[in-house]
Amino acid sequence: MLLRAAPPAPSRRIERAAVEAARERGAHVVEAFPVAPDSPSFRFGGYVPMFAAAGFTERGRTGTRRHVMELRL
């Protein structure tokens, strides 16, 4: 029996591709504006735990729901 790891979730693949594209174009920082998993709105920007797991750090908030996170490249 061959066991394979599950592929990353689509949102994780998009995050990885965006970071790689920014890196290839010479970016020094990537910002994200995710929300907490229990947020009732703004979910299209992703969730804080996914970005934290990818190495982003929280820098503050914009409003009451959106977190400002960044990844230094």
The residue ranges of every structural domain in the chain are 10-72
**10-62: pLDDT as tens digits:** 778 888 999 999 999 999 999 999 999 888 887 778 889 999 999 999 999 99
Q: pTM for this structure?
A: 0.80
Counting Cα atoms < 13 Å in the Cβ hemisphere of 13 gives 5
The predicted structure's pLDDT at residue 41: 81
Phi–psi pair at 62, nearest 5 degrees: -120, 105
pLDDT given at position 39: 86
